[in-house]
Structure 1
């Protein structure tokens, strides 16, 4: 099976940017251990004022957020993923848009062939396919970067639809 890193398309400069995210939530809530706290929270983030805003289907900064359409597709492949609704509010234009925060499993699938810089950041990601098992979407445990990895089936499903603002990069694997 082939795997891909899913990222926000940085070529779209007008993408909405949520602000005040970590004023409303704690960073550790992005892990399965804090699902109960996340369930109880009401999450609404203002967006950075711009002359034009493009609402992408996937935002990865400052936290990964998925459009309703993208969340629906991902849940077809991974129906047990925890999803928390998030509202992005454009105060200037009095507009609100629903997004989703998905809590992904962290899989210890890092291959010994992966390379790191001296500061601990990732130089070359190589995953061990056997350790992934059957997870269609996940994050790699043991790295600083919050890479979101999807399998080939989910990648093909994404590419067959007209999602906006998603880039895929093939991951090396052993």
Structure 2
């Protein structure tokens, strides 16, 4: 099975930006241990005012948020994921948009071939597919980077639709050396 990093397309400068996120929720709530706190919260973020705001299907800063369309597809592949509705509010244009926060499992799947810089940041990501199991979408345990990893079946399902603002980058796997990454 091939795996891909799901990320926001940073080439779209006009992407909507939620503000005050950590004034509303705590960083530790973004883990499975705090689902009850998250479930009870009413989550609404103002957006940064710009001349133009594009509502991408996936926002990864400051926290990962998924459009309703994207959440629907992911939920078909991973129906047991915890999801929480989030409203993005554009006060200037008197507009509200529904997004979703998902709490993804953290999987200890780093290969020993992974490499780190001296400061602990990831230099080379290599996954051990034997440790991933049946996870379709997950985050990696043991690294500080908040990468969201999806499997090939989910990646293909996303590519068959016209999602806006999503990038996929193939991840290297133990025993399979990649000559270069693909978008």
Shorter chain as normaliser: what TM range? over 0.9
| Structure 2 unaligned residues grouped into runs of 5+ | 175-183
Structure 1's consecutive aligned runs of 4 or more residues displaced over 3 angstroms after TM superposition are none
Q: Please report how far the alpha carbon of residue 111 of structure 1 lies from its aligned counterpart in structure 2 after TM superposition.
A: 0.5
State the partner residue of 1:149. 149
Residue correspondence of structure 1 range 27-42 to structure 2 within 5 A: 27-42=27-42
| Partner of residue 54, structure 1 | 54
For 2:130, the equivalent position in structure 1 comes to 130
| Alignment map for 1:1-174 (pairs within 5 Å) | 1-174=1-174
Q: Provide the secondary structure at the position in 1 that maps to 2:52.
A: coil
Aligned to 2:181: none
Please report how far the alpha carbon of residue 152 of structure 1 lies from its aligned counterpart in structure 2 after TM superposition: 0.2
Q: Aligned equivalents of 1:36 and 1:112: distance in 2?
A: 35
SS at match of 2:80: coil
- CA deviation after TM superposition for structure 1 residue 143, in Å: 0.1
What is the TM-score when the length of structure 2 is the normalising length? 0.95
Please tell me the root mean square deviation across aligned C-alpha atoms, in Å: 0.3
1:31, 1:121 → 2: CA distance? Answer: 21
Give ranges in structure 1 of 5+ residues lacking alignment.
none
- Structure 1: distance between partners of 2:173 and 2:133: 13
CA distance in 2, matches of 1:117, 1:85: 37
Q: What's the secondary structure of 2:74's corresponding residue?
A: helix
Report how far residue 72 of structure 1 moved: 0.3
